[in-house]
Structure 1
Amino acid sequence: MVLLMALVVAACARNSGEPQRQVAAPAEPGPAVVQTAAGALRGVVAPGYRVFNGIPYAAAPVGPLRWQPPQPAAPWPGVRDATKPGLRCIQDTTYDPDYGRPTGEDCLNLNVWTPDGASRSHQKPVMVWIHGGGFLNGSADIYDARWMATQGDIVVVTVNYRLGTLGFLADPALSPDGDVGNYGLADQQASLRWVRDNIAEFGGDPTKVTIAGESAGAMSVCDHLIAPESTGLFRAAILQSGPCQAQADRPTAQQVSAEYASAAGCTDPAAVAACLRALPADALRRAPLYVGLGPDKLTGPVTGTDRLPVDPMIAFASSRVPRMPVLVGSNGDEFAMFAAIQYLKERQLPPYPQLMAKTFGPDAAAVAERYPLDRYGGSVGLAYSAAVTDSVFACPADRIASSLSHTGPVYAYEFNDRTAPAPDPLRAAPFPVGASHSLELRYLFDVGGARPLDPAQRVLSDQMVAYWSQFVKTGSPEVSGLPVWPEFGADVATGKRISLQTGELTVTTDFGSRHQCPFWTSRSGAR
């Protein structure tokens, strides 16, 4: 399910029709030279901002470095061209056909967006963005951060990290010391260390770093909140639509990975690691899938390991997290997009009881009773979407907000623009996708879309950019002239959220009841 997000966002990126907001297209490369620890870079100068693309933050993880923790990037002579994006990481093009954009294993690179006025003597707070895509797809270059830089006056870093098999294969033969999998998570940590050591040269303040992400990116943020090697690398966190409960435990990941290696022809116990490292990258595009998420499965970080000792949801519930501000939220109709994609692929949805059984197993009858078709006008798509939205996204986000509010200030939101532009093909589904998964991204980044934002949506976009960037600056989304965004509060039953939609922004306290969270909390087997 989450793995399809990259396809949708990539499609948006190809079809943008929205005019730029008083920010001209990038000019020809000018004298935008910055010195990093590994060498000098020449980026792109544009009105209001500069951008440096494809900066290596670690060595190419190829040959003997495949399935190893990232190593430092080699220095380069002269001035390196940083005017074009670097390679995207190897990924399963079954779900994202790449649209001609090159991929490769030498993909540990990042992009830096910096506003006018940012310099070593005038440092700006920093947001490090971790992209989504189910740990299977996606890339940093999708997220054009010029609005955050120019309107928000912050530095933004977008990061590539190893995906799928190359990022998370957990065969114990690859890591004799027992720290299996999590190579993609280690890449993210290496990028954060790069930011700590280099961002001042771009005008960023290394002491004021916020990590942020959506979907799998938000799941990564959950992991960094508890990962020992991430401690001290950031001071605040933003989690957008992150089902952080979908983490694989070590025994499951190891078993699936061993089966994966065997299916790839690596069956000799004494030579599994060498065999896997000798395989061509194309043979590794199909990823091992560890954990169920609604009707689908995905890969990703592995708990019970040195790099990720505990499940983040368990750590949150027991307040084993550092004290820091957190901004967390979900979208009102998260799953509707995926239900629409399923409909368009199959030209229909299966009967409602069949969908419930596939998704919720022995809880199917109880779930169907809570989400009866007649409540949704007889629409299988809407009823099915509501059940998965609540169980997979909304109520886990509620638990995260409640748990983290005991260790630091939490600011919660729900994105509720039911007319948010979605990719054109989804409009052919017999039900609306509404405020579905990933659609809030268009309001924060220039990722394009099937339709441009209308005037009211552009206002909402400006408001969201202001809130997000202010949170990055101060740890609180308190913006002069905008409605007050209150702290969530420790009581999950009455937790305060800001509802983000066109027109009047409102504060709600009925999120848990609207999404039937007490019911989902009671279902030990329901996701």
Structure 2
Amino acid sequence: MLLVTLGWATGCGGRERVSPAEPAVVDTTTGALRGTVTADHRVFEAIPYAAAPVGDLRWKPPESQPHWQGTRDATRPGAECPQQIAAVVHGPGDIGGNEDCLFLNVWTPARSAGHERAVMVWFPGGAFSVGDGASYDPSRLVAAGDMIVVTVNYRLGAPGFLADPALAYDGGQVGNFGFLDQQAALRWVREDIAAFGGDPARVTIAGESAGATSVCDHLVSPGSAGLFAAAIVQSGRCQLQGSRETAAHVSTDYAAQLGCGAADPAIEARCLRALPVDRLIATPLNYVTSSGIPTRGPVSGEPVLPDNPVTAIRAGRAAKVPVLIGVNHDEATAFVAAAPPATATQYRDALVRNFGPDADRIAAAYPAANYAHPGSALAAVFTDDDFACPAVTLAESLARGGPVYQYEFDDRTAAAPKTFPAGTIPLGAAHTFELPYLFEVTGLPNLATAAQQSLSGTMIAYWAAFVNSGDPHVANRPDWPRRIGDKVLTLRPDASTTATDFSGRHHCKQWPTRVPS
């Protein structure tokens, strides 16, 4: 199905419902909000975009948020969705969050523009198991780009993606509750962003990692048609999807593991809904494992997501919108660093475990002797297989339907979070390391050097130009051409340049596109 999308119409003004005398108060369709006003931005936090998914609404599609009386306080972050804190890379941590978590945050420039501003909706990453919108402070993007940014919470882990047939809804659909949350947030933006001075016809959906995978899903989901006009895909592993059959089987086993397995689906559903949410979060739910990274996210083969997004995009069934897409030069060091192979033999063994009969071919393309450490060789393999080369496939396919702009973030001096293991292998430009160049992110370090701050300014200018116009061209910055052939903008602190050898440097001929069934 070809998705119909909104065009890049210029905002006409006249719909903003912000009082010049009281810019901290905004009227929405469900009630008034009081946010925070600073010298360069306004922020409205913990705005409910759907009813709390608790009790009988656990494992149900999101329902409309009831109206509230009076003016709701929007000056503090809302609860994050239940999750294991810091669980993505280095194992489980404390369980935090609350099921009443379907909130979004709206950041705007401090002053009214006299016209409607373009909007970026940001879906956080975190392997569909951790993350929340309030962890991302986009004030630099908002101020420098004269744009609005919306950051979104959505259900994670088992509460967001359990695909047990006992919990079937809408004629037998399973799973995808967190993805349906995202669509509800986009519908809220369509209905209410004008109240904040935003243009509902100029919405760019964006995300990193699991957030970027979500963007790929929106590009092909019938329910997302018409809700956005452009897309940004940062380090998206868009090929990682569970099929309905796999997800249903794993979810049924999951219910049995929690003591809720029953022949009667109604009994099984009641048992699951009665469990404390901490038990759901403490018990992992995984559909696919590749390169040691689990996913428990959206399920394809359902009306909400009929096909794996890579399959649908390659077949031309994606929204015909401008897309900005890219990866980091050393994505997989973030995953290999915790337990890298220490010797060439261990590297070879890791290739055999992951690639079976293809191990010899891959070892020849990535000889351990060419790298400073065997772990760096393995990280290069996973980076190219899981991130760089799939991005090439996606970019080539999407470019048949609209303008595509591809980048590679390559600041190999980027600072690592304190949670990363030290002294194992060089991390370089690892997974998530580009985020502080666009946002202030909880748990990620600030930029350390003038060169990094300069690169941050360049990236913010590019991203803002793309959100505002669908084209990242910025005067007095290195040119970012549309992707024709293998043109990829390399983002570096010393000088950002256009490269034409991205596929060759990442050995993409070694990696045929693999789409899970």
Provide TM-score, normalisation by structure 1.
0.89
Question: Amino acid of the residue matched to residue 408 of structure 1?
Answer: G
The answer to whether the 8 A contact 2:84-2:92 is kept is: no
Give structure 1 stretches of 5+ with no counterpart.
1-29
Distance 1:197 1:526 in 2: 36
Would you say 1:430 and 2:427 are equivalent positions? no
Would you say 1:322 and 2:316 are equivalent positions? no
Would you say 1:502 and 2:493 are equivalent positions? yes
The answer to whether the 8 A contact 1:196-1:233 is kept is: yes
Deviations 1:76-132 (A, max 9, x none): 11111111110000113471699989511000000000012336x521100000000
In the alignment, which of 300, 308, 311 is matched to residue 308 of structure 2?
311
Question: Amino acid of the residue matched to residue 297 of structure 1?
Answer: P
**Which residues in structure 2 correspond to 1:11-90 (within 5 Å)?**
32-90=24-82
In the alignment, which of 231, 242, 251 is matched to residue 237 of structure 1?
231
Structure-2 change in CA distance of 1:173 and 1:460 (3 Å): same
Deviations 1:124-153 (A, max 9, x none): 100000000000111111110100111111
Question: Amino acid of the residue matched to residue 312 of structure 1?
Answer: P
**Which residues in structure 2 correspond to 1:100-499 (within 5 Å)?**
103-118=97-112, 121-176=114-169, 177-270=171-264, 271-285=267-281, 286-342=283-339, 351-377=346-372, 379-424=373-418, 426=420, 428-447=422-441, 449-450=444-445, 452-489=447-484, 494-499=485-490
The answer to whether the 8 A contact 1:426-1:433 is kept is: no
- Quote how far apart the aligned CAs of 1:429 are: 2.2
Deviations 1:183-224 (A, max 9, x none): 000000000000000001111111100000000000000000
Distance 1:101 1:480 in 2: 47
Deviations 1:244-283 (A, max 9, x none): 0111111000000010011111122211111111111011
The answer to whether the 8 A contact 1:136-1:287 is kept is: no
Distance 2:244 2:34 in 1: 43
Deviations 1:274-323 (A, max 9, x none): 11111110110023200122233221100000100011111111111121
Distance 1:505 1:370 in 2: 27
Name the SS for the 1:181 alignment partner: coil
Distance 1:277 1:526 in 2: 30
Aligned residues: 489
Structure-2 change in CA distance of 1:451 and 1:350 (3 Å): farther
Question: Amino acid of the residue matched to residue 208 of structure 1?
Answer: R
Structure-2 change in CA distance of 1:305 and 1:476 (3 Å): same
Distance 1:295 1:101 in 2: 22
Question: Amino acid of the residue matched to residue 384 of structure 1?
Answer: L
- Quote how far apart the aligned CAs of 1:372 are: 1.2
Deviations 1:492-518 (A, max 9, x none): xx3211000012210011111110111
Deviations 1:459-517 (A, max 9, x none): 1000000000110000000111111100002xxxx321100001221001111111011
- Quote how far apart the aligned CAs of 1:526 are: 11
The answer to whether the 8 A contact 2:141-2:460 is kept is: yes
The answer to whether the 8 A contact 2:53-2:100 is kept is: yes
Deviations 1:390-419 (A, max 9, x none): 000000001000000000000000000110
The answer to whether the 8 A contact 2:409-2:491 is kept is: yes
Distance 1:168 1:349 in 2: 39
Structure-2 change in CA distance of 1:184 and 1:151 (3 Å): same
Distance 1:69 1:278 in 2: 18
Distance 1:392 1:117 in 2: 43
Distance 1:357 1:204 in 2: 52
The answer to whether the 8 A contact 1:92-1:287 is kept is: no
Distance 2:269 2:95 in 1: 30
Distance 2:53 2:500 in 1: 47
Distance 1:78 1:525 in 2: 50
Structure-2 change in CA distance of 1:478 and 1:117 (3 Å): same
Distance 2:76 2:221 in 1: 32
Using the aligned pairs only, state the percent identity: 49
The answer to whether the 8 A contact 2:241-2:516 is kept is: no
Distance 2:96 2:32 in 1: 24
- Quote how far apart the aligned CAs of 1:354 are: 2.6
Would you say 1:520 and 2:511 are equivalent positions? yes
The answer to whether the 8 A contact 2:86-2:130 is kept is: no
Structure-2 change in CA distance of 1:102 and 1:262 (3 Å): closer
- Quote how far apart the aligned CAs of 1:156 are: 0.1
Distance 1:45 1:350 in 2: 59
Structure-2 change in CA distance of 1:277 and 1:348 (3 Å): farther
Bigger shift: 505-514 or 292-301?
292-301
Deviations 1:427-448 (A, max 9, x none): 7223210011000000000126
The answer to whether the 8 A contact 2:119-2:198 is kept is: yes
The answer to whether the 8 A contact 1:410-1:488 is kept is: yes
Let me know the Cα RMSD of the aligned residues. 2.2
Give structure 2 stretches of 5+ with no counterpart.
1-21
Distance 1:517 1:267 in 2: 44
- Quote how far apart the aligned CAs of 1:525 are: 9.4
